[in-house]
Each structure stands twice: as C-alpha cells, then as structure tokens.
Structure 1
Amino acid sequence: MRQQDRQRAQLRREDPHLAPGASEEAAVGRRVFAEGRGPVLTDLDGNQYLDFAAGTLTQSLGHTHPEVVEALTAQAGRLWNVHDAATPNRAQLLDTLARLLPEHLDTYALFSTGAEVVEAALRVVQATAPPGRNRIGALRHGFHGKTMGARMLVHWDIGHQAFAGNSVLGYAPYCYRCPLGLERPTCGVRCASLVRRHIAEKPNTSALVFEPVLGAAGVIVPPPGYWEQISEAARENGVLLVADEVLTGGGRTGTFLASELIGVEPDLVAMSKGLANGFPFAVLAGRHDLLHDPAAATPGAYASTYASNPLGIAAARATLEVIERDRLLEQVARLGELLGDRLGALHERFENLGEVRGLGLLWGLEFVTDRASRTPSPALARAVYAAALDLGLRVALGGHVLRLAPPFTIDEALLDEGVGLLAKAIEQAVAA
C-alpha cells in the first residue's frame, strides 16, 4: 500500500492556505481519508485501513454506523439549532443517560466539545466553592483541553506568558517513569499520599480535576491504592472530585465511566468524544445539589451557541441506545482482555517496547531506545506509525507513545489482524 497521485495532488492544493500545526498523525501520515465504514477507512486512492484510532478515539460504533447516520439524517431534515430550547429527543437522551450513569450523577448540562464541558465544570466549582477555597488541584501530565481555563489547570504556558492561576499540581500515577524514583510495590503509592497531603487535605482546595486514565499522556492507568487514598481524603475534607472523562466516558474502558473501574464516585463528570460516535457533543453530569445550586445555575450558566443542539442530541441518543441494547460494554471488557494479551506478547517480543498499558479498548505502547535507560524514542514511534499506515493500520501517534482504541463493534478476527499488522510495522521500524 502506498500513497498515490490523487492524495499528493490534494495535499499540494491545501498546503498554500492551510495553517500548520496539525496533529502528528496528520503531519506524518499525509493521507486524505475519503470514506469510513465500521472499523475501516478508505483513502482518496482507494487504499483501506483498519482504524485502531477510531477517528480521534471518538468512533465508539465505528465510522458511519447506520443507526447514527439514520438519526442524524432524519434530524437534519427537521431542525438544526434553536439555541438551548427543548426539542423532542432531549428528554429521551436524558433518560438514557440516567440509566447508564451512576445513580448519584442525575443532572446533566449539554455542550458541544470536551474543552467546553471542562470549562463548564470549572465554573460550577468556582461558583459553589465556600469562601477561602480558592485553589483547584490537577495532576501532572493531565490534559483537559486547549482553552484558557483547561490550560491553567495543568500550567500549560504558551510563548512567554505564564497563567498558572489558582491550580496546584499533584503527582500522576506514572509508575513507569516515577518522578519520585520509586518502584512498586515497595513505594507505598507515595505519589498518592503527596496528592492527598498537598491537595485533598488542604482547607483552601475546592476541587481536584483528574482523568481516571490519563489519555493524552499515553494511557496512564493508576495502580491499586492510588485513588483509594485520594478520594477518601477528598470526601473527608469537602474537596469536590471532577472526573474528566472526555476520552473514557461512554464505555471505552469497559464500564460506562472509567471512574467506576478505579472506585471513585465523582461529583462532576465531563464527557464528549465517543458519546455521539464522533459527532461534536458533550455532557456535564453531576450531583443534583451542585448543578441546581443557585450560584451555579444563574441564567445562561449552562447555555452556549451549540448547547442542546438537536443534531448532537440525535447522534448521542442513537449511539448510547446501540451501546445499551447490544451490551457493548461487556464486549469492550471481553475484547480488552484479548487485546491486552496480544499486546503483552508484543511487549515480550520487542525490546524497544518499554511498556504496554491499558484498560478495555484503550491501550498505550511506549517506545524507548532500550529498556535499561527507558529513554523515550519518538522517532521510533513515528516510524512504527508510518509503517503501520503503509501496511493498512491506523493508530494514534503522540510523542513516543502509540495509542490503540478500536471501535466497540470490532470483532476478534479484525482485532487479531490489526495486532498482526502492528507487529509487522514494529519489525520494519526496528530493522530500518
């Protein structure tokens, strides 16, 4: 498989006008994707790819799922936008969310993107925080979006401007690269005790914003004991727990929320990406008392241009009803175990594969120059990514980590085929 004339011509046509700064995947891959069906993408020259990135970890049901297409098409012929006024499908969507989410998360606000819903969660925290609680905790390596509030959470500065704001950073559970130089199990989960001490037990902290599984950082899965310490301390000290499940919410890890797997009961949850099978849509779920607090529920507090738009509601309702009806959470858990086994075999086989980690259908492969030094190798990860594309497999590239997130609807045979293509890509990249 190779890139051919139509794609090259298309990319040359774009280059004079398109701003740079695309994702690594687009910059390295240089593909023009024209069509998607289920787990398969087709480019402009007719080459096909198994999509183990599921769009951008968004296509829970695969590309152009017929029931989602039907729901969107029908809605597109009726009504697109009336601000946040009620429309016929909204009540049904809220009922579906109430069935799928933990019982205490019974109130919802609808938005359009992940960053927008994170910003909405921050407004709720800030509006309801008692006097003196003017700090918000977050975790190092976290990613919550590119808007100002989301960037301030993780001290993400741009240019010469520093806007750390009122955020306090704690240690993420990145065991493979422990910032404290410790090893499990003798570490006593020291990273968690420091988060507890400096964030969860501080009387001036209003909330801790966290990803249950740190996605953009490379699928960092917390070890046992990490969240048990932190969540207990947060509860005892009145610190709200705000789960950023923009990536994991909707079943990606085998439960509807990844928080359920790690034993945390968040007060607020931000969800987007796969909730509407890749159509722009987001939900802030929370406790009734928080989202109904008069300070947080002032006129317009949960409104925006595309909030509650009928197209997003139609796509989300169709997606979630398929997930529920077809018991796809059970399938994600089952296939996740198989995928973990297959990737574990690759880890044993390839010395440059430093660590494999994940849950359900969300996995990260960390590439290194050698296992002794654990030196990150983004060049090798890029080479594997490019080789995989040439072989007919698309994954997600970020630095020295490749992420895998196949659609929930994939079957075992295609899962094995994809892992086989990945093995060939690693062979080629290592030998080059």
Structure 2
Amino acid sequence: MNTEQVLDIEHRLMSPGVSQETQLADVVFERGEGSYLFDIEGRSYLDFGAGIFTQNVGHNHPHVVNEVKQQVDKLWNVHDGSTEARAKACVALHKHLPDELSRVAFFTTGAEAVEAAIRAVFSGAPPQKQKLAALRYGFHGKTQGARSLVHWDIGYSNESGNSVLGYAANCYRCPLGRTYPSCDMQCAQLVNRHISSKPNIAALFFEPVQGAAGVIVPPQEYWSMITQVCKDNGVLLVADEVVSAGGRTGRFLASQHYGIEPDLVVGAKGLSSGFPFSMLAGTEALMGQGEFAGAGATSSTFGGNPMSCTAAYATLEVLDNEQVLESVEAKGKRLGGGLRDLMHEHEVIGDVRGIGLLWALEFVSCRKNKTPAPDIAAQFYQACMKAGVRVCLGGNIVRIGPPLNVSDADIDKALAVFDQCLQTIAS
C-alpha cells in the first residue's frame, strides 16, 4: 500500500481521536533506524520525539532486536508465570533503582502502573488517610483512577475524584502571579499547607518534571521543601516517572536530580524501546507484605510478558554497555543551548525549558502578554515534518526529546531545520 491508501483506510475505519500531531502529519511510517524514521515512500525523518519518548536507545537497536528475535521463537505470554526474561528485567532494573525500592511489579502502560500504585497506597493506609494529593496540570494517564488524581473530567462525567490539588512550579506561567526567585516558592508553601493541614492525605502523586504539561522543570528547592513536609506528616511520595525513568533527564530517575526519596515509582516509555511495558517499584513495606502482596494483587493479562520484559532488559543493557547516560547531560546542554539561541532570534518562542534530553518550546503571539499561539506551534510542527524532523506537538507547546544516543551532528542538523522552519512561518 502507499500513503494515500493507508490514510484512506484509517480515516474511514478508525476513530479520529488520535494525537494532534498524527492528525496534522499525513505521514505513514514504515521503519526506524537509530535516530531516524522512514515513511512508506522512503523519506527519512530525524525523530526528535523518540516515538513518544519511548526510544531511549533509538529505533531498532541491534542488541534489542537480537534479543527480541530470540524470544519471539520461544514464548510470548503465559499470564504472569515466571520466566527467565522477567527475572532478567528485575535484575536490570535493580541495578539502577535506589536500594530502598526493592520490589517491582510489571504492567503494560503507565496508566495501569499508576492504578496499581493507587492500590498499593490504600492497601496499607490507615483508615483516617483516605485522600490522595496531586499537582495541577499533572498527567498520570487516561484511566479513571489516573484521571481522578488531577480532576480530569470527560464529557458529562462527574467522577473526577476528591484528591487535593497543589500548585506545580510553573515559573513561566506562575498561577500565583509571582516571579522566581522573589516568590519565596509560594507554590511549594501552598502545597505544604495542604499537606500539613489535612491529616487524611495518604500520598502525593507527582511528576518530578511535568511532561505533558509542557516540560515544567521546577527550581531545586521546590521539591526539597515539599518532600520534607510529606515525610513529617506521614504522606507517601509516589513519583510518576513514566516519561523520565530510564535516563531521559540525565539520571536514571528524575527524582535523583532533586534528592527525592520516593516510596513508589512508576516507570514506562523509555524503559523498553517501544514495547508495551511499565513497572511499579516500591519499598518492602508497601509492595512486599500486607494486602498488596496477596495473590492476584499485581497480576495482569499482558503485564510482565516475556516479549516486553526482553525488550526492557535489553534496552537497559544498552544503556549500561554503551554508557549512554554518561553523555546525556552534555547532549542536553548542546540541544538546550541551541534552542535558547533560537528563542533570542524568533519572537514567536516565548519560553524554552528542559533538562537532559527533554525540552519544550512554548509558542506565543505576544511575548509581553505570553499569549498562547497554538496555530503557530502547529505551523512549526508541520514545517518541521516537511523538512524531515519529527517533534511532539500539543497545543501551543512543542516537546523535543531525541533518542539518548543521538549524535551531536544530528542535534546540530535538527537545530538548523528548526531555525529554517521558524524563518518560514514568520515570513
């Protein structure tokens, strides 16, 4: 089939609720290799979205391909039965996770693992602690429990939950109208006021760096203020690292940048090179005993299947064997520096922010008023696709996150394309 035929079938038979970037692209991808994608017509694209931040070691890494090919001839699924692949995934994860997170459970999506984290919290919570806390504009998935954390209603649904919402440290668009650092971190102070004044909160669910909200990177003191108050008040820390686990920010967990010691961590996306794999890691007290350790508490039809576990441990082996994480900080500085240079040259970019190899451009029609410009962001996205670079679009924000082993030459190539596209849409 050609591009037109594939798109015709999808437009006729699929629900159209795919991502905005897919709706605008009209591209049919056929294969991937390293930092590149190739469409069905043979055109190449630098993938600066890394799938959706899933391809930490690039597309079709030879070691991952080889391990998965061997597994495909052996066993695909045996419910949650013990397999060598699952044992290897456990060992590979424990090499990178903090020592106190001694137990893991496997699922298929980030949302499924978040749901499991909610169950883990309440399986051991005292009767008086029956509320959860989260941060405004956070994203934890599209299932009911994950949605309820951030009060995300759909249609006429009124089951948004009763979680307590705090303020994230969005310094570019401070919801409190303050300016960092003279703000004295009022956002963190308000979170702490909620935590300390409500004895019924069992856990705080949070992204150390908010991804879907537009790569919100908080100041260092934000998390040190909040985590201490949580610990003082017996509130568990549940880090949603679906986007960041696996080295996206330069450390295996984004929590490690801030000295956060979570009780539970959710990871997915970049851990398994695009295969459906997620994990919940936690302490012995939360996951190794009590109700959550009972039969069936963590079983999942596809969770921990041999194929996904093989992709996961092979991906983590590449991170180790090729010392991928050692260069993320330097590559991030190269990419971030280039993006900031573009902001100085192009008025439509209101803000550039990021950490490691996770970055965002926020497009505005007026810098002074910070007026969101989703139409300009969409134009930029489409121009980049036509020029052979794929990024991630959402509203007025474009997120940028290439594979962690992207070359310096490809970073420079993408930056040159971004500059060219910005000039095109401004003319």
TM-score w.r.t. structure 1 length?
A: 0.97
Structure 2 residue aligned with 1:326: 322
Alignment correspondent of 1:294: 290
The answer to whether structure 1 residue 120 and structure 2 residue 138 are counterparts is no
Matching residue within 335, 345, 351 for 1:349? 345
What's the counterpart of residue 403 of structure 1? Answer: 399
Other-structure match for 2:54: 58
Q: Which of the numbers 172, 186, 190 marks the counterpart of 1:190?
A: 186
Question: What pairs up with 1:34-113 in 2 under 5 angstroms?
Answer: 34-113=30-109
Rounded to whole Å, the distance in 2 between the matches of 1:14 and 1:407 is 28
Q: Report the CA distance between 1:92 and its aligned residue.
A: 2.4
The residue type paired with residue 326 of structure 2 is: E
* Equivalent residues of 2:195, 2:229 under 8 A apart: no
Q: State whether structure 2 residue 257 is matched by structure 1 residue 280.
A: no
Please state whether the residue corresponding to 1:296 is helix, strand or coil: helix
Which letter does structure 1 place at the counterpart of 2:420?
K
Uncovered stretches (5+) of structure 1, i.e. residues with no partner: none
Query: Does the CA contact (< 8 Å) of 2:152 and 2:160 recur in 1?
Result: yes
Matches within 5 A, 1:301-380: 301-380=297-376
Which residue of structure 1 lines up, in the alignment, with residue 20 of structure 2? Answer: 24
RMSD: 1.1
Select 1:266's aligned residue among 258, 262, 269. Answer: 262
Quote the Cα distance in structure 2 between the aligned partners of 1:102 and 1:13.
47
Residues 364, 371 of structure 2: 8 Å contact kept: yes
Once the two structures are TM-superposed, the CA of residue 265 in structure 1 deviates from its matched residue by 0.7
SS at match of 1:177: coil
The alignment partner of 1:89 has SS state of helix
Provide Cα deviations, 1:327-371, integer angstroms capped at 9, x if missing partner: 111111110111111111111111110000000000010000011
Give the number of equivalent residue pairs: 427
Give the secondary structure class of the aligned counterpart of 1:345. helix
Q: Please tell me whether the aligned partners of residues 110 and 268 of structure 2 are also in contact (alpha carbons under 8 angstroms).
A: yes
Which residue is 1:134 aligned to? Answer: 130
> Per the alignment, in what secondary structure is the counterpart of residue 369 of structure 1?
strand
Deviation at 1:293, TM superposition (A): 2.7
Q: 1:28-78 CA distances to partner (integer Å, 9 max, x unpaired)?
A: 111101111111111111111000000111001111111111111111100
Kindly indicate whether residue 424 of structure 2 is the aligned counterpart of residue 428 of structure 1: yes
Q: How many angstroms apart in 2 are the aligned matches of 1:78 and 1:401?
A: 43
1:146 has 2:142 as partner? yes
> What residue ranges of structure 2 are gaps of 5+ in the alignment?
none
1 CA distance for matches of 2:262 and 2:148? 21
Amino acid at match of 1:46: G
C-alpha distance in structure 1 between counterparts of 2:87 and 2:380, whole Å: 46
Distance in structure 1 (CA, Å) of the matches to 2:161 and 2:195: 15
